[in-house]
Amino acid sequence: MAGGISLHAVDVARGVPAEGMRVELYALRDGQRDRLAESRLCANGALDHPVVGGAGVTAGVYEAVFHIGPWLRAQGVGSAEPAFLEEAPFRFTVTDVAQHYHLPLKFTPWGYSLFRGA
C-alpha cells in the first residue's frame, strides 16, 4: 500500500481487536489542530477511512487520539470514570507521502504501546 495513514488497536490483555473504539486523526498546521478523521474502528480493530489510502495526507505533523477509557467501559472492563487511561495520543511526523504509515496501538487498562508498524 502506498501512502496513507492506518490506525489499528488491540486489547492485548484480552486478545481482542478494539472494534468500536473511537479514534480521531488531526493534522497540526500553523498552531491549529485540523481534524482529518473521526471514526470507530472496524471488527478487525482497524480504521476504515479515506485517509488510509492517502486522502488529505501531506507532509507534516499529525496526532492520532485513541479513546481507550470509554471503549473499556463499554466492554465491561473497569468502571472508574475517568479511567486510568482515558485517551492515548500519538504525535508523529509524515515526511514522505509516498510511504504508508501504519500506527498500531497495543493496550491494556494500565498501559499501552504505540509504534510505527510495517
For 74-105, write each residue's pLDDT tens digit: 999 876 788 899 999 999 999 999 999 999 99
pLDDT attached to residue 50:
87
- Mean per-residue pLDDT, 35-51: 94
Q: What are the chain's domains?
A: 5-109 (2.60.40.180)
Q: Answer whether residue 54 shows pLDDT above 90.
A: no
Residue 6 CA: distances (Å) to CA of 101, 103, 109? 6, 6, 23
Q: Answer whether residue 118 shows pLDDT above 90.
A: no
Tell me the pLDDT band of 44, cut-offs 50, 70 and 90: very high
pLDDT attached to residue 55:
87
Residues 6 or more apart from 73 whose CB is under 8 A from it? Answer: 79, 81, 83
Q: Answer whether residue 1 shows pLDDT above 80.
A: no
